[in-house]
Structure 1
Amino acid sequence: MGRETEAAMLVLIGVLLVVLGFALRLNPLVVVTVAGIVTGLLGGLSPLKILDAFGNGFAGSRSVTLFIIVLPVIGLIERFGLQEQARRLIAKLGVLTTGRLLTLYQLIRQVTAALGLNSIGGPAQAVRPLIYPMAEGAAARRYGSVPPTMAEKIKGYAASADTVGVFFGEDIFVAIGSILLITGFVDSTYGLKLDALHVALWAIPTAICAFVIHGARLLWLDRQLDRMARELAPKQADAEVPQP
């Protein structure tokens, strides 16, 4: 039993490599590939079996590349004014500030992900063409103009609303790949029977905490934008003064 424990701990070196690689800001694809090879070798796999595992993993997750098919459609609808229409729509809704809009989107994203509907949102198909322009439009209605610094901040928070929502919402759905991966790994490695439904139920408190914490940060974004607008106002005024 001691040798098996040591072998299992040795395999965790791959996780350490991933953490170090990301901390050093190396290429994520190279970091994950090297960590996978090292983990396979430490686990006693032959090079052919490691290559086979990479092939099976790619074939099993090929659906993640389907967004490439959607990109031309998004480009066409943006070309014909989708972002402008989104800005006009949000300009008519005075109740929705930037923070409130993003909090509402995070809630919708989290609930739909909990129901297994992950593909209805995302950075490519929702955040860039719709959510960010609407959030920027809400800021433009409030401040008159959106400087580049403010726009970049809104972009980051719009992406975070989508990421946090789907990340903590999808684990509530029993048939999601992460739940099946956890239960399969625990069953095969440690011989423990882990029910997928129990894992999904225990993900609910985590999802609620994630919504409360990040939702508060999104609502606090309005105050950050207010402060940023006050700081940028004198600079814009100086820039508009004609030089003699």
Structure 2
Amino acid sequence: MEYLSLLGILVIVIGFALGLDTVAVVVIAALVTALVSGIDFVSFLKILGKGFIDNRMVSLFFLTLPTIGISERHGLKTAAVNLIQKMKNLTPGRIFDIYTAIRELACLFGISVQGQVQFIAPLINPMAQAAGKVNGEMTELEVDQIKARAAASDNFGNFFAQNLFVASSSVLLISSTMKSLGYPISTSAVVLITIPIAVICYILCLLYNHAFDKKIKKGK
């Protein structure tokens, strides 16, 4: 009988295979699991409601998606492109340099930035493309390379600098895990070790972005 509780997994597999609505499939799978496990429908609703209330802050992230979409539709991307076109000295690489620095500084002060959604797609990528087109049209390959570099600049800045804030979850996890393994290390020590890593990462990004600018300019 205990295998009946696995019916929820079967519902998820079938639902995803048929391309049905993800949220509906997950809720139905949870309901099936609850019913075959002896949990009545009212209790299931209570558990579902409590879980949503306890984790409601997580759902706030999804509010940013339509907000960014509306902003783009009403001219956010166009305004960013117009701004870059007026600044002749900016290049794609220099834009990436500035953004990576901002990303690392945000990590230093513990500021959470969902870069790919809020900045890369609506701002950094179109700004970099506009800067690349100042001296002429770009090839399709160059456009794709700028898109990739824009996404990478966010990943570099976030990944290699995320432990710069002494109270960040990753720093606390590292410290507590090392302590549990018998190697006590303070959170400040984790930050100190991260500083040279973040600096080296930024220097390498500067060099790569400079080489990228020269490559695009040479292609003109």
- TM norm structure 1: 0.64
Structure 1 Cα separation of the partners of residues 70 and 207 of structure 2: 35
* Preserved CA contact (<8 Å) 1:118 1:170: no
Match of 1:203 in 2: 194
Give the direction of change, closer, same or farther, for the CA distance of 1:150–1:76 in structure 2 (3 Å limit): same
Q: How many residues align?
A: 168
* Preserved CA contact (<8 Å) 2:161 2:197: no
Match of 2:207 in 1: 216
Residue by residue, what CA displacement relative to the aligned partner does 1:72-95 show, whole Å, maximum 9, x if unpaired? 011111111211111100011112
Structure 1 Cα separation of the partners of residues 70 and 115 of structure 2: 18
Match of 1:91 in 2: 85
Q: CA RMSD in A?
A: 2.1
* Preserved CA contact (<8 Å) 2:164 2:191: yes
Give the direction of change, closer, same or farther, for the CA distance of 1:74–1:220 in structure 2 (3 Å limit): same
Deviation at 1:149, TM superposition (A): 1.5
* Preserved CA contact (<8 Å) 1:115 1:170: no
What amino acid sits opposite 1:164 in the alignment? Answer: F
Structure 1 Cα separation of the partners of residues 166 and 54 of structure 2: 18
Match of 1:238 in 2: none
* Preserved CA contact (<8 Å) 1:87 1:137: yes
Name the structure with the higher helix share: 1
Structure 1 Cα separation of the partners of residues 82 and 125 of structure 2: 13
Structure 1 Cα separation of the partners of residues 119 and 88 of structure 2: 22
Q: Which runs of 5+ in 2 are unaligned?
A: 1-52
* Preserved CA contact (<8 Å) 1:106 1:161: yes
Give the direction of change, closer, same or farther, for the CA distance of 1:210–1:140 in structure 2 (3 Å limit): same
Q: Which runs of 5+ in 1 are unaligned?
A: 1-58, 231-244
Structure 2 Cα separation of the partners of residues 167 and 105 of structure 1: 14
Match of 1:71 in 2: 65
Residue by residue, what CA displacement relative to the aligned partner does 1:78-130 show, whole Å, maximum 9, x if unpaired? 111211111100011112111111111111111111111122x5000001001
Note if 1:108 corresponds to 2:99: no
Note if 1:141 corresponds to 2:128: no
Note if 1:125 corresponds to 2:118: yes
Deviation at 1:195, TM superposition (A): 0.4
What amino acid sits opposite 1:206 in the alignment? Answer: I
Structure 2 Cα separation of the partners of residues 122 and 112 of structure 1: 11
Deviation at 1:223, TM superposition (A): 1.4
Give the direction of change, closer, same or farther, for the CA distance of 1:178–1:150 in structure 2 (3 Å limit): same
- TM norm structure 2: 0.71
Secondary structure of 2:161's aligned partner: helix
Residue by residue, what CA displacement relative to the aligned partner does 1:9-46 show, whole Å, maximum 9, x if unpaired? xxxxxxxxxxxxxxxxxxxxxxxxxxxxxxxxxxxxxx
Match of 1:150 among 142, 148, 155: 142
Structure 2 Cα separation of the partners of residues 124 and 171 of structure 1: 21
Match of 1:43 in 2: none
Match of 1:174 among 163, 166, 171: 166
